[in-house]
Amino acid sequence: DAKTTQPPSMDCAEGRAANLPCNHSTISGNEYVYWYRQIHSQGPQYIIHGLKNNETNEMASLIITEDRKSSTLILPHATLRDTAVYYCIVRVSSNFGNEKLTFGTGTRLTIIP
């Protein structure tokens, strides 16, 4: 799986949009970009994933650059409960391929009241 690079920490004011960047310059054509987060003392939680188109769900939006070498996770209206470590992961998604998730060190996002 391709390696990802994320800033170690970020702060965001409550109610503002949190924009979390991720670089994955060696991503392959069949690798998806996944985002998970881990709130303190809990297991990781899936947020969103995408291949090349921008994606949006009830939790967040994912913007992937045209060359797919980087992406941004957007939490549109951050709340205190969004304080967590956010992991950007690139991975082949198939029934027969590499099934594990390879977690890096992630970005520790702190929402400031």
Phi-psi region of 47 (alpha: psi -120 to 50; beta: other; left: phi over 0): alpha
Residue 49: both structure tokens together:
């994933």
Q: Does 53 bind other proteins (CB under 8 A)?
A: no
Contact with other proteins (CB under 8 A) among 17, 39, 101, 112? 101
Residues 6+ apart with CB under 8 A from 41: none
Q: Does 54 bind other proteins (CB under 8 A)?
A: no
Give the C-alpha separation, 73 to 94, whole Å. 23
Q: Which stretch binds other proteins (CB under 8 A): 23-31, 38-46, 51-59, 70-78?
A: 38-46
Fill in the DSSP letter of residue 69: S
Residue 19: both structure tokens together:
């924009």
Q: Does 30 bind other proteins (CB under 8 A)?
A: no
Closer to other proteins by Cβ: residue 36 or 111: 36
Contact with other proteins (CB under 8 A) among 5, 65, 79, 105? 105
**Contact positions toward other proteins, by CB under 8 A?**
42-46, 49, 87, 92-97, 99-106
